[in-house]
Amino acid sequence: MLADQNGSNFPRLVKIMQRLLAPDGCPWDREQTLQTLRTYVIEEAYEVADAIDCGNFENLCEELGDLLLQVVFQTELARRQSWFGHNDVIDGICEKLIHRHPHVFGDEKLTTASEVRANWELLKADKKQGRGVLDGVPSSLPALLRALRVGQKAARIGLDWPDSMGVREKIDEELSEFDEAVARGDEQAAKQELGDVLFSLANLARKKGIDPETALRETLNRFTDRVRTVEAEARRLGRKVDEMSAAEVDRLWEAVKEKEAF
C-alpha cells in the first residue's frame, strides 16, 4: 500500500524522534551527539547508493528511510541546542530550489540541461562570494570523488589542460617520477608521487566524461565476483583456494575470465 503522498508522515517521524530523546525515552538515542552520528549518516548514504546500484527498489525505500532518520535525528539534536529546527532545514532547501531554478519558478529561459547546470553554478558562486573556489568540496569525501570535484572546480578558474592528451602525458610524467622515487628508496616521495598519479587519473577520467568513482567501483565488483567464482571452482574440485599454489589459482582465474568472454 502506498503511503500518503502529501508528506503528512513527516511530523509523525519528528514526534517519534522527540519521544525517543525524551528523559524517559531510549538511553542509546539520548547519548548520541552530532559527532557520534556522523559515521551513521555516511554509512546510510552508501547503503542508499548500494541499493541503487543493485536495482533493489524495496531496499532503496528502506535505506532512504534510514537516511531520512539521520536528517530528522540530527536536526532534532540541533533544535534542542536552539541552532535550527526542522522547518529551518525544509524552508532552506525549498528556498534554494526556487532560487536555483529561475527557469521553472521565474521568467528566465533555459532550455537545455547544460544551460541549467551553468546557471546553477553561477547562482551558487553569486551567493558564496568571498569563498575560495575549492571551499565547497568537503574534505571528508572519498579521496577519488574528492579528486574529481577538485579537478572540476579548479578547471573553472583555468587550472586545467586544454585536452585529455595533456593529462595523459602528465600521467606518464608522474609515473616516471614515482618509479624514480621507488628506485631511490624514498618512501615519502613515492607516496607523494603515487598520489599525483591517482589525481592525474581522476583528471583524465573527468576529461573523458567518466566518473572515476563509478569506474573503480565497477572494477572492484567484477574482481570480487571473479574471486568468488574462483573460490567456488576450487571447492568444486575439493580444494581450498588458500592451500593451492599461485600457479593453480592463476589457472582458475584465467579460466573464469575466459568463461566471461562468452
Using a 10 angstrom Cβ sphere, with 0-12 exposed, 13-18 middle and 19 or more buried, the burial of residue 99 is middle
Per-residue pLDDT for 68 more than 90?
A: yes
| CATH architecture of the domain with residue range 143-210 | Orthogonal Bundle (1.10)
Per-residue pLDDT for 2 more than 70?
A: no
Question: What span, in angstroms and rounded, lies between the C-alpha atoms of 184 and 189?
Answer: 9
pLDDT for 196: 98
Q: What is the mean pLDDT of the chain?
A: 92
CA dihedral 72, 75, 80, 86 (to 10 degrees): -80
pLDDT for 1: 35
Question: What span, in angstroms and rounded, lies between the C-alpha atoms of 163 and 227?
Answer: 37
> Where do the domains of the chain lie?
9-98, 143-210, 214-260
**CA-to-CA separations, 66 to 9, 53, 246, in angstroms, rounded:** 14, 17, 43
CATH of domain 9-98: 1.10.287.1080
Per-residue pLDDT for 261 more than 80?
A: no
The model's pLDDT over 31-51, given as tens digits with 9 standing for 90+, comes to 999 999 999 999 999 999 999
The model's pLDDT over 117-150, given as tens digits with 9 standing for 90+, comes to 888 878 877 776 777 889 889 998 899 999 999 9
Q: Which amino acid is at 138?
A: P
The model's pLDDT over 96-118, given as tens digits with 9 standing for 90+, comes to 999 999 999 999 999 899 899 88
Tell me the whole-structure pTM to 2 decimals. 0.72
Q: What percent of the chain has pLDDT over 70?
A: 95
Do the two domains 9-98 and 143-210 of this chain adopt the same fold? yes
Angle subtended at Cα 70 by Cα 72 and Cα 147, rounded to the nearest 5 degrees: 130
